């Protein structure tokens, strides 16, 4: 059980995130969110006379026969969506070498996109995963519901070390039967992501939000240090003054990143890259604008 003082501290952070997220949504995110994400489909709205350039497939031949001139069916977009925040809360999410941990950046991102979704009339749900699926909360509306989701992101404590997308993908496919928007938030230091990513993307509109830390990209020249795998607890001593070691480490991380991006491209998954040392807002703005351009094509 989480001690009372820790609960109070967590709730204070949740309230702070709420205020920041509401302000950002009010000032700039609401319109971008609405223009970036499609609803679940199209609802019939009305008929109107055919005009040059209209889609022939939308001609209603029964009405056309009665009116003795071509009429087409008009549609309006069904706006309401289910949005599922799928958040990696494995051991590596607690790491942060600058100001915030990856978990805190994930919670802030979830708050911003979650309040944007609620303002647009969408429902938000949550899937927390590590080596196994930890918690699933079905999509619902309301700020109290969203604040609970943010709190769960911050307090989650997986009992099994490691991180896997396989169980997360199975849970999403079983628990979310209708096509939804899945915001997959993780550092993606996960083995075997290709197959589960393919399963999720085949059913849901999927966006990956990758959160990394600068020290995970390049080792500093800091002499002999002990490195620990936050997933397993395994430790090793390395000499970071060794230039060849630092270069090998950087190349290894670059290859890992290229592999992740290749999997995203293969399955048509858009991605936003966030860092624990940077404000996430510019990257999220760029994501929404990119989605808007794609819709306009």
| Of 189, 128, 182, nearest in space to 159 by CA | 128
The residue extents of the domains of the chain are 4-36+80-296, 41-78
Contact 245, 239 (CB under 8 A): yes
CA distance 11 to 23: 18
Cα separation, 178 vs 188, whole angstroms: 25
- The answer to whether the beta carbons of residues 276 and 96 sit under 8 Å apart is yes
CA–CA separation, 220 and 213 (whole Å): 13
Contact 152, 17 (CB under 8 A): no
At 40 the pLDDT is 47
User: What Å distances lie between residue 296 and 106, 116, 196, 289, 290, CA to CA?
Assistant: 29, 21, 29, 11, 10
| pLDDT < 70 positions in the chain | 1-7, 28, 30-31, 35, 38-46, 53, 55, 74-79, 295-297
Reference 106, options 7, 43, 186; nearest CA is 186
Superfamily of domain 4-36+80-296: von Willebrand factor, type A domain (3.40.50.410)
Instruction: Give the SS3 label for residue 228.
Output: strand
What is the rounded CA–CA span in Å between residue 55 and residue 43?
16
Whole-number Å distance between alpha carbons of 236 and 248: 16
Return the half-sphere exposure (C-beta side, CA atoms, 13 A cut-off) of residue 132.
7
Helix/strand number for the chain, H first, E second = 10, 10
User: Which residues 6+ apart lie within 8 Å of 203 measured at CB?
Assistant: 172, 173, 179
Kindly list the strands in the beta sheet with 123-129, ordered across the sheet, starting from the edge strand earlier in the chain. Answer: 133-140, 123-129, 82-88, 181-186, 205-212, 270-275
pTM to 2 decimal places: 0.81
Can you name the residues that pair with 234 across neighbouring β-strands?
A: none
Residues belonging to the chain: 297
Task: Please calculate the CA angle 140-93-177 and round it to the nearest 5 degrees.
Answer: 30
In the prediction, which pLDDT does 132 show?
93
pLDDT in tens, 89-106: 999 999 998 888 999 999
What distance in Å separates the CA atoms of residue 142 and residue 128, rounded to the nearest whole number? 20
Task: Read off the DSSP letter of residue 52.
Answer: T
**So what's the pLDDT on residue 102?**
94
The pLDDT value recorded for residue 103 is 94
Q: What are phi and psi of 125, to 5 degrees?
A: -125, 175
């Amino acid at each position: 059980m989480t001690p009372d003082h820790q609960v109070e501290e967590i709730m204070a952070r949740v309230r702070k995130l709420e205020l920041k997220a509401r302000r950002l949504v009010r000032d700039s995110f609401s319109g971008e969110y609405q223009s970036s994400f499609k609803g679940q489909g199209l609802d019939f709205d009305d008929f109107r006379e055919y005009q040059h350039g209209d889609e022939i497939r939308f001609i209603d031949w029964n009405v056309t026969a009665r009116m003795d001139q071509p009429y087409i069916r008009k549609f309006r977009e069904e706006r309401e969506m289910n949005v599922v925040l799928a958040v990696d809360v494995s051991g590596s999410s607690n790491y942060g070498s600058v100001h915030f941990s990856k978990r805190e950046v994930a919670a802030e991102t979830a708050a911003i996109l979650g309040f944007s979704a609620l303002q647009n009339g969408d429902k938000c749900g949550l899937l927390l995963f590590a080596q196994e699926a930890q918690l699933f909360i079905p999509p619902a509306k309301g700020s109290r519901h969203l604040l609970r989701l943010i709190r769960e992101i911050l307090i989650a404590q997986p009992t099994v070390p490691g991180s896997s997308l396989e169980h997360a993908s199975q849970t999403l496919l079983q628990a979310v039967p209708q096509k939804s928007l899945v915001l997959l938030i993780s550092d993606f230091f996960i083995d075997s992501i290709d197959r589960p990513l393919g399963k999720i993307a085949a059913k849901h509109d999927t966006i990956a939000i990758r959160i990394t830390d600068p020290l995970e990209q390049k080792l500093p020249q800091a002499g002999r240090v002990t490195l620990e795998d936050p997933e397993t607890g395994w430790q090793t001593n390395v000499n970071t003054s060794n230039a060849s070691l630092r270069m090998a480490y950087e190349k290894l991380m670059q290859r890992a990143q290229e592999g992740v991006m290749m999997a995203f491209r293969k399955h048509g998954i858009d991605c936003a890259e966030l860092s624990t040392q940077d404000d996430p807002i510019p990257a999220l703005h760029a994501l929404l604008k990119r989605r808007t351009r794609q819709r306009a094509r």
